[in-house]
Amino acid sequence: MRYYRVSEKFGKMHLCVEAVDGLLTSLSSINELVGEFRDLLDASDITGNSVDAIARHLLKQGRGKEFELAQLIDWSISETGDARIIKPLEPDEMWAGGLGNMIMTPEKLADAPEGVRLAYNTPEITTNFYKGTSHRLAGPFDRVGIRADTERTIAEGELVLVIYKGKLAGFSTGNEVAGGLGARSSNWLVPAKVFTGCASLGPCIATPESIPDPMSLALELVQYRGGKEIARSEVPARLKRPPEEIVASTVAHDSPPDLVIQYTGGFAAVPDFPLQAGDVVRITMEGVGFVQNTVEVV
């Protein structure tokens, strides 16, 4: 099942589930104790029941308020209407990886520096970079940022893992905005990754049960400028190792907060088209949906 957060015009928040394609039902309107996806994760941890099983139980208790997904998407993009889709959760931390998660061809690996080959062949040592906390995270239809002091920043479409108490809890998609400062100096790796609007997430969280084969998911990135398409990348997001192994390497020698999201690598990217203010980037992932973000300078 897929879970969305919806904000109504006057501030009322709903955690919704897409139990029927295209129709969202508010679990919050059935039980006010369910305000966000973390509440379902906590209940699952306490009871031993899956998030989906808890949602089904709630749906049987009464008729919840319903929203049409297509209408919500239209309202969210146009910034009109009575409600809109917001980021599906508020993670305690964000991380971004890639090397060791993504498949490199033998030719590309042979040409890579020794340090890259070592990291690629030792995936149990994570190559994650810290991306900050949730207040830097843009929602599925919000604005993402590019640093004013960075000449080259690109969009990267990625599969995102939701990690709860060290275990895989779900999947989403998003834009891991990749700044060029790190390529100019290794001392600038942190500012290259951590800044206002440095990533987007959404539109929903898909539970592991709803993504039967996460090892290869269709992923598309389209970049628009002035209302016209200027670049496109359509690729399968093929993982080198199962998501559970990626999560295990992330938490093996660490005690992260309860709720973490991890970007797994820039599968879809258009390096020849650096982002400019006003560009619109749409990233679509099979089984999840799409995020569409406008670029601003921060």
Q: What is the pLDDT along the chain (298 residues), one digit of tens a residue?
A: 999 999 998 889 999 999 899 999 999 999 999 999 999 999 999 999 999 999 999 999 988 999 999 999 999 999 999 999 999 999 999 999 888 898 888 898 999 999 999 999 998 998 899 999 999 999 999 999 999 999 899 999 999 999 999 999 999 999 999 888 888 888 898 899 999 999 999 999 999 999 999 999 999 999 999 999 999 999 999 999 999 999 999 999 999 999 999 999 999 999 999 999 999 999 999 999 999 999 999 9
Predicted pLDDT of residue 104:
87
Write the single-letter amino acid at 190.
V
Q: What is the largest CA-CA distance in the chain?
A: 60
Q: Which residues contact 120 (CB under 8 A, 6 or more apart)?
A: 99, 100, 104, 109, 112
Predicted pLDDT of residue 151:
87
Cα-flanking dihedrals φ and ψ of residue 227, to 5°?
A: 80, 0
Look up the pTM and report it: 0.95
Predicted pLDDT of residue 185:
86
Predicted pLDDT of residue 256:
94
Segment 191-207, tens digit of pLDDT: 999 999 999 999 999 99
Task: Cis check for the bond before 214: say yes or no (omega within 30 of 0).
Answer: no
Q: What is the DSSP letter of 65?
A: P
Predicted pLDDT of residue 178:
84
Segment 217-241, tens digit of pLDDT: 999 999 999 999 999 999 999 999 9
8 A C-beta contact, residue 50 and residue 44: yes
In the chain, % helix, strand, coil (3-state, to 5) comes to: 25, 40, 35
8 A C-beta contact, residue 96 and residue 263: yes
Segment 62-84, tens digit of pLDDT: 889 999 999 999 999 999 999 99
Beta-bridged to residue 211, according to DSSP, are: none
Instruction: Tell me the average pLDDT of the chain.
Output: 94
How far out from the chain centre does Cα 49 lie?
Answer: 25
* Rounded Cα–Cα distance for residues 211 and 92 (Å): 24
Predicted pLDDT of residue 186:
83
Predicted pLDDT of residue 98:
86
Which is it for strands 259-263 and 156-164: parallel, antiparallel or unpaired?
A: antiparallel
Which is it for strands 13-20 and 23-26: parallel, antiparallel or unpaired?
A: antiparallel
The CB density around residue 277, as the number of other CB atoms within 10 Å, is 13
Cα-flanking dihedrals φ and ψ of residue 45, to 5°?
A: -65, -35
Domains of the chain: 2-86 (no CATH), 93-297 (3.90.850.10)
* Rounded Cα–Cα distance for residues 226 and 175 (Å): 20
Predicted pLDDT of residue 231:
96
Predicted pLDDT of residue 179:
84
8 A C-beta contact, residue 229 and residue 243: no
Among residues 47, 41, 13, the alpha carbon closest in space to that of 27 is found at: 13
* Rounded Cα–Cα distance for residues 238 and 259 (Å): 24
* Rounded Cα–Cα distance for residues 236 and 42 (Å): 33
* Rounded Cα–Cα distance for residues 50 and 84 (Å): 27
Predicted pLDDT of residue 254:
93
Q: Which residues contact 131 (CB under 8 A, 6 or more apart)?
A: 93, 94, 95, 96, 176, 193, 194, 198, 199, 263
